[in-house]
Amino acid sequence: MKKEDLYNSIDSVVPNEVQKSRMLKEILNPKMNYVKTKPKKLVIAVIAIFCLISTTVIATNIPAFQSLLEKINPDMVKFIKPVEGVCIDQGIKMEVVAVARYDNMVKAYITLQDLEGDRIREDLSFLDYYSIKGAWSGRWSLIDLDKENKKATLFVEAENDKKFEGENLIFKVENIFYDHKKYEDYEIGIDLNEISHDPSYINATTEQFMSWSHGKLYGGLLSEEQIVPILSPHTIDFKFSNIKTSMISNIGVIDGILHVQVWRDTAFDGQGVSIYLKDSKGERIDADTTITFMLDELKKIKNPEYSYYSEYIFDINTDNLDDYKLFGDFHTSKQLKGNWEVSFKAEDS
């Protein structure tokens, strides 16, 4: 058989729909491990022909696409199409590099590269500040990090409840979070024997709260009409070293119940805080009730879309506060606000 005939016979092999579905299920998996091995001498001729075929398909001379091919399963190459879509904001470059579609699934490879600093890291996250417009649902995962070039490669999956018909899909990110740090079993350093047993407080109802959790303290349930005393907001500023996003804003005993109020800076998203006690045996004691709320301009409590304050209420024996110490678990991260948006078509591969 002549080389040209062999080439044409291989090139004419086209998988049917069932085979395509099966191959896509196995191949379109970014977590799949694969190893590049050297071909044996007996198959050098066939390998050379397949390389030639691949070259005719992907000879787009797009550097980002060529770089992607080194990072993904080689079997994936025949299913993806190169795409050039770039958005740069805050010194971060987002680029959609390649797309594959089959039926109601679209899978895209998108890169994020820091052109100015060192903000693209392994702990990259978007929290809820990303979306895939035009799809019923979507998700993403980090499949490669090029530390030298400060570039992350993302595998983005979009699904629809029906077959895609060439729609434009938009991958959008509004906040990038990085440099995540956790501070666990952080001893706060407040002497509970020194706190006030007669602090100023406000009576409020659950209608004024953003959220609340409840235990045995309020009979296991807080009704809308039930009055709950909470500390007057922000009468002190007890700051934590190394943690700039929150502080103790008030603490005291109301009617024999320990209240600890924490203020959180709403300029920083992606932060977490949990306050608890440890007894003399070192055992952790979580709050019986936790309430979140904020203030309006008149310093009245109201129910907001985003909370400024959390109040932790502990049902313990406040006559023996020297048996307890105050601790916290904190999660912090750096945040970069911007508007990154790239679009691509949901076309057949």
**Binning pLDDT at 50, 70 and 90, where does residue 226 land?**
confident
**Binning pLDDT at 50, 70 and 90, where does residue 188 land?**
very high
* Dist CA 251 CA 238 (whole Å): 10
Query: Stretch 100-113: mean pLDDT, rounded?
Result: 86
**Binning pLDDT at 50, 70 and 90, where does residue 307 land?**
low
Closest among 263, 261, 233 to 245, alpha carbons compared: 263
**Binning pLDDT at 50, 70 and 90, where does residue 304 land?**
low
Residue 310's Cα: distance from chain center in Å? 23
pLDDT digits (tens, 9 = 90+) for 311-341: 999 999 999 999 999 999 998 888 999 999 9
**Binning pLDDT at 50, 70 and 90, where does residue 8 land?**
very low
> CATH assignment of 3-180+336-345?
2.60.40.1630
pLDDT digits (tens, 9 = 90+) for 251-276: 999 999 999 999 987 777 667 889 99
Instruction: Delimit the domains of the chain by residue range.
Output: 3-180+336-345, 182-332
**pLDDT over threshold 80, residue 173:** yes
Q: Is 336 within 8 Å of 175 (Cβ atoms)?
A: yes
For a pLDDT cut of 70, what percent of the chain falls above it?
Answer: 74
For a pLDDT cut of 90, what percent of the chain falls above it?
Answer: 37
- Number of residues that this document lists for the chain: 349
pLDDT digits (tens, 9 = 90+) for 199-217: 999 998 877 887 777 666 7
The angle subtended at Cα 118 by Cα 139 and Cα 246, nearest 5°, is 75
Question: Of 51-55, 80-84, 198-202, 239-243, where does the model show the most confidence?
Answer: 198-202
Which pLDDT does position 80 carry in this prediction? 77
- φ and ψ at residue 46, rounded to 5 degrees: -65, -40
**pLDDT over threshold 90, residue 219:** no
- Sequence-distant (6+) residues with CB within 8 A of 193 are 321, 322
Collapsed DSSP state (helix, strand, coil) of residue 160: coil
Which pLDDT does position 55 carry in this prediction? 26
Query: Stretch 286-294: mean pLDDT, rounded?
Result: 90
**pLDDT over threshold 90, residue 16:** no
Ranges 30-44, 157-171, 184-198, 225-239: which has the least confidence: 30-44
What does the DSSP 8-state code read for residue 189? Answer: -
- Sequence-distant (6+) residues with CB within 8 A of 259 are 199, 201, 229, 230, 231, 250, 251, 252, 253, 311, 312, 313, 314
Which pLDDT does position 34 carry in this prediction? 30
The owner of tokens 């603490």 is 251
Which pLDDT does position 296 carry in this prediction? 77
Which pLDDT does position 214 carry in this prediction? 67
Q: Which long-range contacts (CB under 8 A, 24 or more apart) does 58-65 make?
A: 58/82, 62/97, 64/95, 64/97, 64/111, 65/97, 65/98
Alpha-carbon dihedral sign for residues 18, 23, 26, 29: negative
Query: Stretch 170-176: mean pLDDT, rounded?
Result: 92
Query: Stretch 52-71: mean pLDDT, rounded?
Result: 53
- Sequence-distant (6+) residues with CB within 8 A of 13 are none
Query: Stretch 169-190: mean pLDDT, rounded?
Result: 92
* Dist CA 179 CA 124 (whole Å): 8
